[in-house]
């Protein structure tokens, strides 16, 4: 059993005030494999006080100095990449060979981009009669989810470090292990005490202490829309800045006449990745009526070809879902889809053959889905794809935008003009055209109930700053 006995506050490893611990369960085996402290809200006070004390000196460091720390943290993470991938795989089920790329090396690349952007904090804009400068916003509280445990942390801690902010992180209670490693690396590279602090525990216990703390200037949250709203309300009393990265129900428009085989192969694999537990999952696939049955057949073939099972096996595409609770919720949605009259093309609520233990769900494709069904409107957060029929491009765009979310979206078309014409009409923070890789430099964030604010790259850094105008008199 892996044991972490302390949390990281003010550059020290200290016991949580509660004296309590919580156990982590591997969703592939359903067995407990690690134990971490369950912090108490009082730990938030100590951590925020440390972050507040550290802020004046850290905010005055040069950009070059902050880049130096960020580069050293990147090197530390790179050295421990295999260990991180294994921990994340055990916490939340992603196959370990995928974890190394998207869960570890990707975020390291994103962090290094923030190091390279630190110098922009020293840029000033001279205008007629005034000067514009940027200050770091101050002490930040971070609350993150379990589906990309290190990725979501670096999306917040990275720009905070680059901007000159200090922070207190509370990761998901299901997936804190990579954060302990991150804190160990911060200690090892000599990051000044209090610049980064780690507390643990459940959101229901710790959340209010972070989002209502009078010494916290900004709260950045990634997770469900429901909790994001609660946090924004709690933070409103002190007029804190709140950044919310929330849920999604993203559309993928296969343009009329597009290469359906290529488009569907891409979207099935993309949407089943991480067992579909992605806020950006392209979960509603819109196909022209003339190409619809072809699309259904390709989706069936591709979904049935994806290997599901042991996340330590290099041949595995889908591991288990992150927990048995997550599995139950996804299975209920699959049953609901059948009850709503959608056509079950492949998959279903039963356990995959040969996997009697673990939070496994078969990759599931529904056809004849209409956009008013619950499976088309609500975030399922599992390996479930809905194929929706449309008659012309205008209808495709209308259905695509008929959602309360607006995080991601996708288009597949054969010519740039069609790609961009459709992309420009979609109401979402990102549009993926013909299957690009994730960009750690491009702005990322939601329209509508998918959130407020942007993460990653230059736009992500700006979120952590205040813009100041110095008006120049005589
Ligand atoms: P969640 O909202 O249940 O939990 C997220 C975090 O909030 C966890 O750290 C949790 O402990 C904490 N929390 C829970 N209740 C709280 C409360 N009352 N006050 C304060 N904090 C509280 O979400 P989850 O199940 O961990 O993650 C899945 C959700 O996250 C999905 O809806 C998904 O779309 C969303 N998500 C969004 C993005 C994005 O960038 N937009 C990325 C990943 C996940």
Residue spans of the domains in the chain: they are 2-246+449-471, 251-439
Residue nearest to atom 40 of ligand 1 (CA): 245
DSSP state of 415: S
Render pLDDT for 313-333 as a digit per residue (tens, 0 to 9): 999 999 999 999 999 999 999
pLDDT at 40: 97
**Closest C-alpha among 204, 253, 221, 178 to residue 41:** 204
**CA atoms of 437 and 351, how far apart (whole Å):** 31
pLDDT at 116: 98
* CB 202, CB 38: distance < 8 Å: yes
- Could you tell me the distance, in angstroms and rounded to a whole number, from the CA of residue 145 to the centre of ligand 1? 5
Six-digit token string for 164: 């000159």
- Residue whose structure tokens are 């780690």: 198
DSSP state of 34: E
From the alpha carbon of 143, which atom of ligand 1 is closest? 9
Kindly state the greatest CA–CA separation across the chain.
Answer: 80
Q: Which residues are catalytic?
A: 245, 279
Above 90 in pLDDT, residue 176? yes
Render pLDDT for 53-110 as a digit per residue (tens, 0 to 9): 999 999 999 999 999 999 999 999 999 999 999 999 999 999 999 999 999 999 999 9
Render pLDDT for 262-284 as a digit per residue (tens, 0 to 9): 999 999 999 999 999 999 999 99
- Helix axes of 81-92 and 177-188: crossing angle, nearest 10 degrees: 160
Strand pairing report for 125-127 and 130-136: antiparallel
- Please give all residues whose beta carbon lies within 6 A of any atom in ligand 1, as ranges: 143-147, 152, 172-173, 202-204, 207, 222-224, 227, 230-231, 245-248, 279, 379, 381, 407, 446, 451
pLDDT at 425: 98
For residue 159, the SS3 value is helix
Superfamily covering domain 251-439: Aldehyde Dehydrogenase; Chain A, domain 2 (3.40.309.10)
- Which of 22, 211, 224 has the most ligand 1 atoms within 8 A of CB, as the residue to mutate? 224
From the alpha carbon of 279, which atom of ligand 1 is closest? 34
pLDDT at 474: 86
Fold of 2-246+449-471: Aldehyde Dehydrogenase; Chain A, domain 1 (3.40.605)
* CB 284, CB 250: distance < 8 Å: yes
**Closest C-alpha among 277, 315, 311, 308 to residue 85:** 311
- Could you tell me the distance, in angstroms and rounded to a whole number, from the CA of residue 223 to the centre of ligand 1? 2
From the alpha carbon of 155, which atom of ligand 1 is closest? 40
- Which of 223, 250, 404, 447 has the most ligand 1 atoms within 8 A of CB, as the residue to mutate? 223
- Could you tell me the distance, in angstroms and rounded to a whole number, from the CA of residue 88 to the centre of ligand 1? 17
Residue nearest to atom 39 of ligand 1 (CA): 245
Residue nearest to atom 34 of ligand 1 (CA): 247
Question: Quick one: which H or E segment has residue 345?
Answer: strand 343-346
Render pLDDT for 213-231 as a digit per residue (tens, 0 to 9): 999 999 999 999 999 999 9
Query: In sequence order, what are the residues at sequence separation of 6 or more whose Cβ sits closer than 8 angstroms to the Cβ of residue 320?
Result: 27, 28, 93, 275, 311, 327, 358, 359, 360
**CA atoms of 454 and 222, how far apart (whole Å):** 11
Render pLDDT for 401-457 as a digit per residue (tens, 0 to 9): 999 999 999 999 999 999 999 999 999 999 999 999 999 999 999 999 999 999 999
Six-digit token string for 395: 């209808």
Above 90 in pLDDT, residue 390? yes
Residue nearest to atom 30 of ligand 1 (CA): 223
- Could you tell me the distance, in angstroms and rounded to a whole number, from the CA of residue 285 to the centre of ligand 1? 25
- Could you tell me the distance, in angstroms and rounded to a whole number, from the CA of residue 304 to the centre of ligand 1? 30
pLDDT at 326: 98
- Could you tell me the distance, in angstroms and rounded to a whole number, from the CA of residue 422 to the centre of ligand 1? 31
CA 52 distance to own-chain centroid = 27
- Helix axes of 63-79 and 106-117: crossing angle, nearest 10 degrees: 170
* CB 103, CB 151: distance < 8 Å: yes
Render pLDDT for 21-64 as a digit per residue (tens, 0 to 9): 999 999 999 999 999 999 999 999 999 999 999 999 999 999 99
From the alpha carbon of 446, which atom of ligand 1 is closest? 41
pLDDT at 71: 98
- Could you tell me the distance, in angstroms and rounded to a whole number, from the CA of residue 243 to the centre of ligand 1? 13
**Closest C-alpha among 236, 237, 214, 233 to residue 48:** 214
Above 90 in pLDDT, residue 386? yes
Q: What is the mean pLDDT of the chain?
A: 98
From the alpha carbon of 326, which atom of ligand 1 is closest? 25
pLDDT at 20: 97
**CA atoms of 250 and 259, how far apart (whole Å):** 20
Residue nearest to atom 13 of ligand 1 (CA): 203
């Amino acid at each position: 059993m892996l044991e972490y006995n302390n949390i990281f506050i003010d550059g020290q490893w200290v016991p949580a005030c509660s004296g309590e611990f919580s156990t982590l369960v591997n969703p592939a085996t359903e067995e407990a494999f690690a134990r971490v402290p369950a912090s108490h809200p009082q730990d938030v006070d100590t951590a925020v006080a440390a972050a507040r004390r550290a802020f004046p000196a850290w905010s005055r460091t040069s950009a070059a100095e902050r880049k130096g720390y960020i580069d050293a943290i990147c090197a530390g993470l790179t050295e421990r990449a295999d260990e991180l991938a294994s921990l994340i795989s055990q916490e939340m089920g992603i196959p370990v060979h995928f974890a190394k790329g998207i869960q570890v090396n990707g975020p390291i690349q994103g962090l290094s981009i923030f190091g390279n952007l630190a110098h922009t904090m020293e840029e000033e804009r001279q205008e007629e009669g005034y000067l514009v400068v940027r200050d770091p916003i101050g002490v930040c509280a971070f609350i993150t989810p379990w589906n990309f445990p290190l990725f979501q942390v670096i999306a917040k801690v990275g720009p905070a470090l680059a901007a000159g902010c200090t922070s207190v992180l509370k990761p998901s209670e299901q997936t804190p292990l990579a954060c302990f490693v991150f804190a160990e690396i911060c200690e090892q590279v000599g990051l000044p005490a209090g610049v980064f602090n780690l507390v643990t525990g459940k959101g229901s216990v710790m959340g209010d202490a972070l989002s209502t703390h009078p010494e916290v200037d900004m709260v950045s949250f990634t997770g469900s829309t429901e909790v994001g709203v609660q946090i924004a309300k709690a933070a409103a009393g002190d007029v804190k800045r709140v950044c919310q990265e929330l849920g999604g129900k993203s559309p993928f428009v296969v343009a009329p006449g597009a290469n359906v085989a290529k488009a569907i192969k891409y979207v099935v694999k993309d949407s089943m990745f991480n067992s579909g537990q992605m806020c950006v999952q392209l979960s509603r696939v819109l196909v022209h009526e003339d190409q619809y049955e072809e699309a259904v057949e390709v989706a069936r073939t591709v979904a049935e070809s994806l290997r599901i099972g042991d996340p330590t096996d290099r041949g595995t595409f889908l591991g288990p879902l992150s927990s048995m609770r997550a599995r139950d919720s996804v299975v209920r949605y699959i049953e609901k889809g059948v009850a709503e009259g959608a056509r079950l093309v492949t998959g279903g609520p039963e356990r995959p053959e040969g996997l009697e233990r673990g939070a496994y769900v078969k990759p599931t494709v529904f056809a004849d889905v209409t956009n008013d069904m619950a499976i088309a409107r609500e975030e399922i957060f599992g390996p479930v794809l809905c194929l929706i029929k449309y008659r012309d491009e205008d209808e495709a765009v209308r259905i695509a935008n008929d959602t309360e979310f607006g995080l991601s979206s996708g288009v597949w078309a054969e010519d740039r003009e069609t790609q961009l014409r459709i992309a420009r009409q979609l109401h979402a923070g990102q549009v993926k055209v013909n299957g690009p890789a994730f960009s750690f430099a491009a702005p990322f964030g939601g329209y509508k109930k998918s959130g407020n604010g942007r993460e990653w790259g230059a736009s992500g850094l700006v979120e952590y700053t205040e813009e100041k105008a110095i008006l120049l008199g005589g």
